[in-house]
Amino acid sequence: MQIVDAQIHTWGTGLPNNRAHWQVTHFTPAEAIALMDAAGVDAAVIHPPGWDPGSTELARQAVKAYPGRFAIMGALPLAEPSSRARVAVWRDEPGGMLGLRYGFLREPLRQWLHDGALDWLWAAAERAGVPVAVLAADSLDVFGKIAERHPGLRLTIDHLGGRGGNTTLKDAAAMTHMPELLALAKYPNVAVKATGAPGYSSEPYPFPTMQTYLRQIYDAFGPQRMFWGTDISKMTCSWRQCVTLFTEELPWLGAADQRLVMGEALCAWWGWKRTAQQATGGLQ
C-alpha cells in the first residue's frame, strides 16, 4: 500500500508566521525524507509556504532530487493579469506541479472569493484540468456554488474543512463547520483532505473525539474523496502516529478503503502518475 501525505510544507529560511507551525528556520525536503522513511510514508505533496520566498524553487528541486517522493500544489499570484494565461499550462511547468492551492481566510482573497472577482480562476482551472485546493472554513457554502457552476473542476477542501493551525479551538469547538462541509458531499467534484486531525484535538493519541468527525467525512464523501495527510509541521504527535491513526485505529476503514484514503485516491484526484515501482513500500 502506498502512503502519500496530502500536505506538507518545506522551507529553507525564515520562521513560520503561523505559530502553529514548528518555530524553526528550516524544514527542508531532506529533513522531511528522513522522517518519512522512519514513519513509512512513501511520498508527500509539498505546499510551498509564503514565509519563505524561495520555497517553491526548493520544492521543485526536491521533485528532481527525490523522484516519485514529492509533488507540488503551488500558487499563482491572483492579482497579476499574467496569471490568467499561466493556468492553462500550469501542470506543464517543470517541477511536478499538480495544481493550485489557496487560503481564503483573510482579506483580500476572502473578499475576492465572495464578490466574484475570482470567477475567472474557476473557469480557467476547469478548462485546463487543474485541480484546486482551498482553505476556506468561513466560505464553504461559496464552494458549493462554484462546484455546481463548474462540474469539471476538481476542488479539494483542506484540513477537514476547518481552519487548520489558524485556530486554537479544540474538539467540538473546532468542528462547528461540519454541517457545511458535509453538505458539499453531494457535489461529486468536491473532495476533502483529512489533514491535521490531531491538531484539532485536546486529547492524546489516538484522538477519539476526532475519530468521530473522520467517520462523518468518510460516510459522506467515501474513500475516493477523502485523503489522508498531516500538515506535519503543525503536529505535536509523530508522523508515524498520524499514519497509524488511520491504519490501526479506525476499524471501519477496511483494507481496500485504506489503500484509497492513504494515497491511491489522492493520486487519482490530482493526477499524480507515480510509477508502479515508486508506489511500492509503506505499509504492506
Mean pLDDT across 262-277: 87
Residue 90 lies in a domain: yes
**Quick one: pLDDT band at residue 274, thresholds 50, 70, 90?**
confident
Tally of domains within the chain: 1
Note the pLDDT tens digit of each residue in 242-254: 999 999 999 999 9
Question: Quick one: average pLDDT of 110-135?
Answer: 97
- Amino acid 58: pLDDT: 97
> Would you state the pLDDT for residue 275?
64
Q: Where are the extended beta strands (E) located within the chain?
A: 4-8, 43-46, 70-74, 97-103, 132-135, 155-157, 190-195, 226-229
Residue 277 in domain: no
Answer whether residue 275 is part of any domain: no
Band of residue 93 on the pLDDT scale cut at 50, 70, 90: confident
Residue 112 resides in a domain: yes
Sheet strands side by side (includes 43-46):
4-8, 43-46, 70-74, 97-103, 132-135, 155-157, 190-195, 226-229
Domain assignment present for 278 = no
pLDDT digits (tens, 9 = 90+) for 94-112: 788 999 999 999 999 999 9
pLDDT value of position 278:
54
Q: What is the pLDDT of residues 133-191, one digit of tens each?
A: 999 999 999 999 999 999 999 999 999 999 999 999 999 999 999 999 999 999 999 99
Dist. CA 145–CA 57, nearest whole Å? 34
Residue ranges making up the domain that contains 170: 4-270
Backbone phi, psi, residue 186, to 5° = -70, -15
Q: With cut-offs at 50, 70 and 90, classify the pLDDT of residue 203.
A: very high
The answer to the question of residue 76 being in a domain is: yes
280, pLDDT greater than 80: no
Q: In this structure, is residue 282 part of a structural domain?
A: no
CATH value at residue 93:
3.20.20.140
> Has residue 122 been placed in a domain?
yes
> Does residue 178 contact residue 215 with C-beta atoms inside 8 Å?
no
The DSSP call for residue 258 is H
